């Protein structure tokens, strides 16, 4: 005599499989892409300034969303110093310090910073972006990588 227990679980297993099938619609995408989908997945547009070597990066809205880019503003310090979040600071291979500014919607550009001190997560800079400038605090390393990507 066989047990009826496995047969009782069959409808439950079928329901779980059906739920998973409908919960993962991205797995069943067709290969035909719409023009909007293609442009949303394009890489960042990188325009190098021949004089400075610094690039202007233009991202798509989808690219900004994927990187989860976050910005904060540069604040006034004592005298001519400016204050910015330590999270915005990047160091290049030679030890120079930089931040990425957001001068226009979807546009990001690296700007040098002269650090005077770092204290409690705040950078006091003797030179850097102007007060009120938006600087990237989350996603700056990815922008740095996109600027120097030599695979393309």
pLDDT in tens, 92-104: 999 999 999 999 9
Any idea which of 2-11, 13-22, 41-50, 66-75 has the lowest mean pLDDT? 13-22
Per-residue pLDDT tens over the stretch 49-107: 888 888 899 999 998 998 899 999 999 999 999 999 999 999 999 999 999 999 999 99
First to last CA, the chain: 67
Sheet strands side by side (includes 75-76): 75-76, 82-85, 122-127, 114-119
Q: Residue 122's pLDDT is what?
A: 96
CA 75-79-83 angle, to 5 degrees, is 25
Helix (H/G/I), strand (E/B), else coil: 28: helix
pTM confidence score: 0.69
Q: Which domains does the chain have, with CATH numbers?
A: 35-147 (2.40.420.20)
Closest CA to 112 of 123, 102, 104, 101: 101
């Amino acid at each position: 005599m066989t047990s009826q227990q496995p047969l009782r679980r069959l409808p439950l297993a079928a329901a779980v499989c059906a739920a998973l099938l409908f919960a993962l619609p991205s797995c069943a995408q067709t290969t035909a892409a719409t023009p909007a989908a293609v442009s949303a997945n394009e890489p960042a547009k990188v325009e190098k300034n021949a004089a400075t070597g610094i690039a202007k990066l233009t991202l798509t809205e989808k690219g900004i969303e994927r990187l989860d880019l976050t910005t904060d503003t540069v604040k006034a310090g004592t005298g001519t110093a400016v204050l910015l979040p330590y999270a915005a600071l990047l160091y290049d291979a030679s030890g120079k310090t930089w931040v990425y500014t957001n001068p226009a919607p979807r546009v990001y550009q690296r700007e040098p910073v002269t650090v005077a001190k770092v204290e409690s997560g705040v950078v006091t800079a003797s030179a850097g972006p102007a007060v009120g400038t938006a600087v990237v605090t989350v996603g700056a390393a990815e922008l740095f990588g996109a600027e120097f990507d030599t695979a393309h």
